[in-house]
Amino acid sequence: MNYQRYFKSGQQLLLKVQNDAKEEQQRTELMTVFVVSLEEDSLVLSLPYGTDAVEHYPFSVGLSFEISTEVMGLGIRTTGIFEKKVDGNKFIVKLSPNLEMFQRRISQRFDCQLGVRFSRAAKTLQTMREIWEKNIEVLHSPEAPLLFDGFKMCRINISSGGMRFTIKPPGDQGELCLVLVNLEDGNPPVCAIAEVVWVCMQDDAAVTAGMRFINILSEDQQRIDNFIAKAKKIQKQIDQ
């Protein structure tokens, strides 16, 4: 397989961890990575989450990924397995000979006003994952009451893949945040690690940030899809 046609140094890729289907709580776990070099059928990749990101992330030999990127408007997808760490923020993934082109699925998006809790900090990916895991455990505990203290009503654009809303500056591409969203469906808030993908400065006091959910339960993604479908149906009935 001639991977040189599809992967170049400096190119941004998206890695999706292929979790065990037997896990009780299915989840989506993504990572932004950058191509350092390509050596035959192995990619040397770097993580943009700090100089020791690879050392702190629980990589294991054989961990499998779906690898995707966009080339000239088309999605390019293959799979690979973790091979070894190189240094603090670099690692090697061995590619599988199953590269394919695909049409990216466009997630439904919806502009709405919902209660949001948002926290940001200069923490490592692994630390953010630990915080997310603890939040998920508490939120989904049978004894946990439905508490929405500290939630602020915000105008957001949301999909099962991410959200867009206004935050206080600064807003840096690649910044990791913890986001909780109250879908007002009688269930615990959706809790996700979000990565800032792009920012647009409004003024000195406000930045519009587009964020991708990189750690989120699959059931929460389905809840978001259900929320959007229901909201759009109601909106259509009102418009008629």
Residue-wise pLDDT for 9-67, tens only, equals: 999 999 999 877 666 678 999 999 999 999 888 999 999 887 788 888 888 888 999 99
Together in a domain, 98 and 203: no
| Element holding 187 (H helix, E strand) | none
Count of domains observed in the chain? 2
Task: For residues 93 and 141, state if they share a domain.
Answer: no
Residue of 20, 28, 7 whose CA lies nearest to 78: 7
Residues 75 and 159 in one domain: no
The confidence score (pLDDT) of residue 124 equals 79
Model confidence pLDDT, tens digit, residues 66-96: 999 876 567 889 999 999 998 878 999 999 9
Same domain membership, residue 181 and residue 131: yes
> Do 114 and 218 sit in the same domain of this protein?
yes
Place of tokens 């070894």: 84
Domain boundary among 59, 79, 102: 102
Q: For position 28, which CATH number holds?
A: 2.30.110.70
Domain end point (choices 73, 102, 131) = 102
Q: Are 68 and 127 in the same domain? A: no
**pLDDT one-digit tens code per residue, 114-159:** 999 998 876 678 888 999 999 999 998 888 777 778 899 999 999 9
Domain boundary among 83, 102, 121: 102
The whole domain housing 68 covers 3-102
Q: Are 213 and 32 in contact (CB under 8 A)?
A: no
Q: Are residues 211 and 129 part of one domain?
A: yes
